[in-house]
Amino acid sequence: WKKLYFAHHWPVTVCKMNANDCHDPPKYWTIHGLWPDRAEDCNRTWHFNVTEIKDLLSDMRHYWPDVLHSSLNRTQFWKHEWDKHGTCAATLEVLNSQKKYFGKAIELYQHVDLNGCLLRAGIKPSSSYYKMTAIKEALERFYGVTPKIQCLPPEEGEKAQTIGQIEFCFTKELQLVNCTAPEGGSNPVQAHLKLGTSELSVCDDTLPTYYPSEVQ
């Protein structure tokens, strides 16, 4: 693999996509995952063990919660992310254990500070719409790179898309880089985004964009 996608998702949109056990989703961007760009389930024998990240648990529950399931003791989401992506990312020395992988993701989250950046740009959850180009410009101005922004397309009768996920790309040296689509156009990370029946896709620059403050 060549680069890492560091995905943040907006819990309110995740809940909108999947009305199951979503109670009172966090009103801040949380971690979805840290994904090598071309890898999946790299080492099936390296099992997730929550005791290895016990020192990180309070941070994990805050920054990387399982938005769809409210039980705090549930670790399936982290197990899935480790099995599918962490075991691949572990070819890098800085990510070569569960503690390093999850700990580094939390460190990157605090370093990126997406919540703070959007607030400083005056972009906050609202019942009115944003222009996607304004959101993109704010992020590019702040980070100096182009992230990948994904939305829930408008439902029947709606005119606006709903922002759902923002991915930042990092080199193997953990430097921010542009998230331009790989040549050939197929993006292996896309497969992740089937939550429930709806799917996120790259946002349309021309559509009004909803950044919801609560699950409708």
Strand partners, 208: 131
- Helix, strand, coil percentages for the chain (3-state, nearest 5): 35, 20, 45
Q: How far apart are CA 121 and CA 162, in angstroms?
A: 19
Q: H or E segment at 30?
A: strand 30-36
Q: Which residues are catalytic?
A: 32, 81, 85
Burial 116-135 (b: 16+ CB within 10 A, else e): ebbeeeebeeeeeebebeeb
Q: How far apart are CA 185 and CA 200, in angstroms?
A: 17
